């Protein structure tokens, strides 16, 4: 029987607390113990009630940990936590940075930690507090294979989709690419809302339709099945699929931007999408074939 894992969790904020609570609920079944640390008293009390041991400092928590998960606010706090871990940990400790940090930070920290025998993974998450609460997070991991395997049981307790994205830093870049699309789409949604409002439509109903149909079609992820962004050859399966996407997209974007012009609504993202949709998909524009 494998030895129990000693797991620590630092940072019990909006997403860190439900992640840690999920670990607490899974600890007995998965064969690990859980200790927690935060500067706030309320989440510590909640985790203690859930079965975790509460520690008075990062160093006290990390002393006997195999895996230390870190979900704090920013790069400086991550560095502070890692510094305390390195001061007490042995060469069996893996630190998993769930905070979203600058792209160069994970490699810098991994290099420093390696001199102290500590392994580092960058493992930001996607799925929000709801995904954290029910263990359905996507966890995007960068780091060496051995460190990933050491932390995998803990990651799989918190996330339904655990992706080893590549070497250290890859998890952070994966998260940034995912969130770039997320927030660009939010901005596009605000353009659609302004257009709908100017046209006298019900914005709440529009939001309901968007959520409903995205759940069916997959939203932007529906076009993300290829493993390259190169132009698509005409004999490629995806050519026919994306030919339809371009034709429909350019038609609807043309009508929408014309309506926006008629109503005096600025929709710069929609106009940029009309200009770049085909090229972005690796396809010729349908307008080029008219």
Catalytically active residues are 175
Classify each residue of 227-242 as buried b or exposed e, where b means 16 or more C-beta atoms within 10 Å of its C-beta: eeeeebeeeeebbebb
Question: Using an 8 Å Cβ cutoff, are 19 and 125 in contact?
Answer: yes
C-alpha closest to that of 46 among 67, 79, 17, 82: 17
């Amino acid at each position: 029987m494998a030895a129990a894992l000693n797991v620590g969790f630092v940072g019990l904020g909006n997403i860190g607390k439900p992640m840690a609570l999920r670990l607490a609920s899974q600890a007995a079944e998965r064969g690990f113990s859980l200790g927690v640390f935060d500067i706030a008293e309320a989440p510590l009390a909640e985790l203690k009630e859930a079965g975790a041991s509460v520690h008075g400092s990062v160093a006290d928590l990390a002393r006997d940990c195999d895996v230390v998960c870190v979900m704090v606010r920013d790069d400086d706090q991550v560095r502070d936590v890692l510094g305390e871990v390195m001061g007490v940990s042995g060469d069996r400790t893996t630190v998993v940075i769930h905070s979203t940090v600058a792209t160069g930070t994970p490699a810098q920290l991994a290099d420093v930690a390696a001199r102290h025998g500590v392994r580092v993974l960058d493992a930001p998450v996607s799925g929000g507090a709801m995904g954290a609460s029910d263990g359905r997070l996507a966890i995007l991991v960068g780091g060496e294979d051995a460190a990933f395997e050491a932390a995998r049981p803990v990651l799989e307790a918190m996330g339904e989709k655990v992706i080893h994205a590549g070497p250290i830093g890859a998890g952070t870049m994966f998260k940034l690419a995912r969130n770039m699309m997320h927030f660009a789409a939010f901005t596009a949604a605000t353009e659609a809302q302004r257009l709908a409002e100017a046209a006298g439509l019900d914005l709440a109903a529009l939001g309901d339709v968007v959520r409903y149909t995205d759940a069916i079609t997959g939203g932007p992820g529906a076009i993300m099945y290829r493993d390259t962004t190169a132009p698509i050859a005409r004999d490629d399966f995806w050519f026919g699929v994306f030919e339809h996407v371009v034709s429909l997209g350019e038609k609807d974007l043309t009508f929408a931007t014309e309506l926006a012009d008629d109503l005096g609504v600025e929709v710069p993202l929609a106009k940029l999408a009309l200009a770049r949709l085909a090229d972005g998909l690796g396809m010729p524009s349908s307008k080029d074939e008219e």
